[in-house]
Amino acid sequence: MTTTLRPAGPEERHDDGSRARRYDVCVNSRRVGGVRLATDARFGPTAGRIASLDIDPADRHRGRATVAALAAEEVLRGWGCRQIELTVPAEAEAALRLAAALGYTERSRTMSKPLAGSPRLPEGSLDRPLSEAEYPAWRDAALAEYVRTQLGQGMSRARAEESSLAAHGALLPDGAATADQALRILVHDGTEVGSVWLALRMPEQPGGYVVDVQVAPGHRGHGHGRTLMLVAERESLAAGRTCLGLNVYAGNAPARGLYDSLGYRPTAHLLWKPIL
């Protein structure tokens, strides 16, 4: 029996060059599932995404998903894509095993923690809001860090800079005074040691979301990252948010260890692979 992809609708094309299309997964022309392919919003038209892949329950465990995923890679290669991303829920163990077998590796993971009880900061530590006067310098540093991180993920500098400006503009249109955004400075024994940016409301996030946390060079390794996370948890609870989420890149072992120790657990894995 032959497993193929059959277009299930017209291709979607947008002014920014992005595209998407749905396909039926078919076995000898019989529909057994569906897949949606798209170009990646962050990396641009040379990066593809398997946005969804579903096989009907009666046809699972027969290799249909494997063949469909390989066929999807061929479609994306034909679109001119040179890498593919997909997101797998943490509880989808079979999908994670399949992705690993097909050569996908983790780029980052989202994590979350239920919140209960406002945490107390360590002795000598306190926090305060970022002032409007401090905002331009903080913003420039945050933009530079975002660009550095995206360059490390293989994004071009031009696209990283464009993406950084767009993301900050969308989330912080009114700077430090933007509603539902908390920008806090951590002070330890009278010295500023770091900052945390917390979105109290964010699309597709059920609770608060840590957008960025930074400990100043020279003050790392002293537990200030943990304290900044406690600040984020306290601010989330004060805003009525009962869980806190975040994203951490695969290569950031210190941050992964910190979040694990604080009780954050994976909710989804962002996986990727190059295609030639």
Give the whole-angstrom CA distance, residue 152 versus residue 252: 11
> When comparing pLDDT for 233 and 154, which is higher?
233
pTM of this structure: 0.91
What is the sign of the dihedral through the CA atoms of 223, 229, 230 and 231? positive
Give the whole-angstrom CA distance, residue 6 versus residue 204: 30
Using CA atoms in the order 12, 14, 17, 23, what is the torsion angle rounded to 10 degrees? Answer: -10
Please state the length of the chain.
Answer: 276
Q: Could you report the per-residue pLDDT of 10-56, keeping only the tens digit for each?
A: 999 988 788 999 999 999 989 999 999 999 878 888 899 999 999 99
CATH number for region 3-81? 3.40.630
Q: Which of 47, 62, 85 is nearest to 3 (CA)?
A: 62
Share of the chain above pLDDT 70, in %: 100
Supply the pLDDT for residue 123: 95
Q: Could you report the per-residue pLDDT of 192-201, keeping only the tens digit for each?
A: 999 999 999 8
Mean pLDDT of 125-144: 96
- Judge whether 3-81 and 117-241 match in fold: yes
Phi, psi of 8 (to 5 degrees): -110, 10
Q: How confident is the model at residue 101 (pLDDT cuts 50, 70, 90)?
A: very high
71, with CB counted inside 10 A (0-12, 13-18, 19+), is middle
3-state SS, residue 254: helix
Mean pLDDT of 161-186: 94
Q: How confident is the model at residue 117 (pLDDT cuts 50, 70, 90)?
A: confident
DSSP string, 124-181: TEEEEEPPTTTHHHHHHHHHHHHHHHHHHTT--HHHHHHHHHHHHHHH-TTGGG-TTE
Give the whole-angstrom CA distance, residue 193 versus residue 217: 8
DSSP string, 188-212: ETTEEEEEEEEESS-TT-SSEEEEE
Can you give the residue ranges of every domain in the chain?
Answer: 3-81, 117-241
Asked if the model's pLDDT at residue 57 lies above 90, the reply is yes
Asked if the model's pLDDT at residue 254 lies above 80, the reply is yes
3-state SS, residue 227: helix
Q: How confident is the model at residue 1 (pLDDT cuts 50, 70, 90)?
A: low
Supply the pLDDT for residue 12: 94
Q: Whole-number mean pLDDT of the chain?
A: 94
**Taking the CB of residue 46, how many other CB atoms lie within 10 A of it?**
16
Give the whole-angstrom CA distance, residue 246 versus residue 151: 20
CATH number for region 117-241? 3.40.630.30
